[in-house]
């Protein structure tokens, strides 16, 4: 508990010194996202078609997520679960695999389901790197992040916690790693996390569902 309070205090003192980093980070997000969207336009169209052909329902699934300063926003993914799946964190489902679509497991294992979130980065709801946005009903995670000041950060497609365990860690451990990022955030750390993310995705590490 003390660690989280200290984390929040440090955030307040560092805010002004990180203005240049925030500007550079936003420019980097936009440029890289536009590049990815151009390169991946055809594959994304094929994935959307595959989702539609293999299961009933829309190609995209929009979930209510907690953004910067706990603002709720709609975050898109290629739909990997059946339309009757409960709207809770996957690890809370008794048998997550029973809700997967025929290609849902592959989409999740390869992280291809995350690609539509590039549009959320362009809109400013997400950054390429930051704490993964909590579901609107993950009250325990939201409370710890708010207490520690992490809620002041723009959430990301990937983050320090994701490259250090992803689905394989407890909520307090995720918040501890998010707090580490809050202390150390920099352009070079973001670049390191993006590179680590590529290796994690290729190796399919840390995905339990």
- In a domain, residue 208? The reply is no
Residue at token pair 């980093």: 21
Confidence of residue 202 (pLDDT cuts 50, 70, 90): confident
Q: Return the H-helix or E-strand segment holding 190.
A: helix 187-203
Asked whether residue 4 carries a pLDDT value surpassing 70, the answer given is no
Tokens representing residue 6 in the block: 């200290």
What is the C-alpha separation between 123 and 162, in angstroms, rounded?
22
DSSP state of 89: -
- In a domain, residue 136? The reply is yes
% the chain with pLDDT above 90: 73
β-sheet bridge partners, residue 129: 158
- In a domain, residue 13? The reply is yes
- In a domain, residue 209? The reply is no
Q: What digits encode the pLDDT tens for the residues 39-67? A: 999 999 999 999 999 999 999 999 999 99
Whether 152 contacts 159, CB under 8 Å: no
2-14 vs 171-184: helix axis angle to the nearest 10?
Answer: 30
What is the C-alpha separation between 164 and 148, in angstroms, rounded?
19
Confidence of residue 87 (pLDDT cuts 50, 70, 90): confident
- In a domain, residue 86? The reply is yes
What is the C-alpha separation between 113 and 116, in angstroms, rounded?
7
Q: Return the H-helix or E-strand segment holding 66.
A: strand 60-66
Whether 78 contacts 48, CB under 8 Å: yes
Q: What is the pTM of this model?
A: 0.84
Q: Return the H-helix or E-strand segment holding 102.
A: none
Q: What digits encode the pLDDT tens for the residues 6-21? A: 454 444 444 455 788 8
Residue 28: give the domain boundaries: 2-203
DSSP states of 117-185 as a string?
Answer: HHHHHHHTS-EEESPPPPBTT-HHHHHHHHHHTGGGSPPEEE-TTGGGTTTSS-HHHHHHHHHHHHHH-
pLDDT of residue 17: 58
- In a domain, residue 103? The reply is yes
Q: Give the count of domains, the chain.
A: 1
β-sheet bridge partners, residue 74: 64
Q: What digits encode the pLDDT tens for the residues 116-150? A: 999 999 999 999 999 999 999 999 999 999 999 99
Confidence of residue 161 (pLDDT cuts 50, 70, 90): very high
């Amino acid at each position: 508990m003390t660690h989280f309070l200290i984390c929040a205090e440090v955030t307040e003192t560092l805010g002004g010194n990180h203005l240049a980093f925030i500007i550079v980070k936003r420019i980097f997000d936009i440029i890289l996202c536009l590049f990815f969207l151009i390169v991946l336009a055809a594959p994304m169209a094929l994935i959307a078609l595959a989702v539609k052909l293999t299961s009933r329902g829309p190609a995209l699934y929009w979930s209510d997520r907690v953004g910067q300063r706990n603002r709720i926003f709609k975050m898109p993914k290629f739909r990997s679960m059946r339309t009757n799946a409960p709207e809770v964190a996957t690890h809370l489902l008794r048998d997550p695999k029973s809700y997967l679509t025929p290609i849902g497991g592959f989409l999740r294992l390869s992280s291809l389901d995350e690609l539509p979130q590039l549009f959320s980065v362009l809109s400013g709801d997400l950054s390429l790197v930051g704490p993964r946005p909590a579901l609107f009903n993950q009250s325990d995670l939201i409370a710890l992040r708010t207490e520690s000041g992490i809620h002041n950060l723009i959430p990301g497609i990937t983050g320090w916690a994701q490259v250090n365990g992803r689905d394989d860690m407890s909520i307090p451990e995720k918040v501890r790693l998010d707090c580490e990022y809050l202390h150390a955030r920099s352009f070079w750390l973001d670049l390191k996390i993006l590179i680590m993310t590529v290796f994690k995705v290729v190796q399919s590490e840390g995905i339990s569902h």
